[in-house]
Structure 1
């Protein structure tokens, strides 16, 4: 037993759009061969598609630990951690916690995944709330570089540009 049959069953489940069954099959493959980084990676991808972020991160990290030389595994783990940090920052902001803690999480998120547009947008909003308009504008512009037609990024960049111009005249 090497787990390949379980992987085939998992793929068949994915083709049937049965993600829960696919997860079960990938989990079985991991149990058969827990040192197989690729199995952990595939399980992580399926968890991520099913919005089970904690489990996705757990297996992404395990895959990158088993194969630290594998760039795709490291990148996948980093992008998942970035998404988790961004979501945590959003929760903290909604709960009315100090913006500094959200700012730290978002700064780390964009370091881990510089392509996460939503993290740049939330970072822009956070800097704006702190009345730090220069980094707010920079974050909004970073979001625009990633998604030039993003209406929220366009709006935020315009807002922070106006605020910077207003403060620079005084």
Structure 2
């Protein structure tokens, strides 16, 4: 069986919702033709959909290197890199020490790579909130809502941040 037939089998597995089997077929195709950028790209997509980000990134890097001028491969790689940065930022925010400044830096880079990454905008809002900057937190969540107006978490966070902004203004007025 050649690489094209293995890719066809992978697609048949995807249609059957058997992503693990699809990955096996893609892996066989990649092993048969390791210099085929398209095969690396295709398996990267399936790994990403299966929440196997590290493997998705590795194959996306390979596809981009093998076909350096391919914009589709480069764009896919950037999207995966943005997801990775968002996950790292989320981990930093979840630690008891917080680390919002490190998370903010990662999330800004993630958004630069993929401005359409809703999760990165939401996490940026959360990171700003951890820093006590409710204005920037609200702005980041508003950006997420521009991308996905029905995002329930973003709506709730925006309400929270706007409430916190009002509370801070009220406290400032009472001190004066």
- State the Cα deviation string for residues 71-114 of structure 1 (Å, max 9, x = none): 11111111111111111211222122422111111111111111
Q: In 2, Cα distance between the equivalents of 1:69 and 1:42?
A: 17
Partner SS state of residue 149, structure 1: coil
Q: Which residue of 2 aligns with 1:132?
A: 133
Q: Which residue of 1 aligns with 2:118?
A: 117
TM-score by length of 1: 0.90
Q: In 1, Cα distance between the equivalents of 2:119 and 2:53?
A: 16
1:40-59 correspondence to structure 2 within 5 Å: 40-59=40-59
Q: Which residue of 1 aligns with 2:149?
A: 148
What is the Cα deviation at residue 168 of structure 1? 5.5
Q: In 2, Cα distance between the equivalents of 1:120 and 1:167?
A: 23
What is the Cα deviation at residue 141 of structure 1? 0.8
What is the Cα deviation at residue 165 of structure 1? 4.8
1:79-98 correspondence to structure 2 within 5 Å: 79-97=79-97, 98=99
What is the Cα deviation at residue 55 of structure 1? 0.1
The change in CA–CA distance for 1:39 and 1:158 in structure 2 (over 3 A counts) is: same
Q: In 1, Cα distance between the equivalents of 2:51 and 2:42?
A: 14
- State the Cα deviation string for residues 23-82 of structure 1 (Å, max 9, x = none): 111111111111111000001011111111100011011111111221111111111111
Q: Which residue of 2 aligns with 1:34?
A: 34
* Farther-moved stretch of structure 1 (149-158 vs 54-63): 149-158
Q: Which residue of 2 aligns with 1:63?
A: 63
Partner SS state of residue 132, structure 2: coil
The change in CA–CA distance for 1:156 and 1:15 in structure 2 (over 3 A counts) is: closer
What residue ranges of structure 1 are gaps of 5+ in the alignment? none
Q: Which residue of 1 aligns with 2:158?
A: 157
* Farther-moved stretch of structure 1 (91-100 vs 68-77): 91-100
What is the Cα deviation at residue 133 of structure 1? 2.2
Partner SS state of residue 51, structure 2: coil
Matched length: 170
Q: In 2, Cα distance between the equivalents of 1:87 and 1:145?
A: 22
**Is 1:101 matched up with 2:102?**
yes
* Farther-moved stretch of structure 1 (14-23 vs 45-54): 14-23
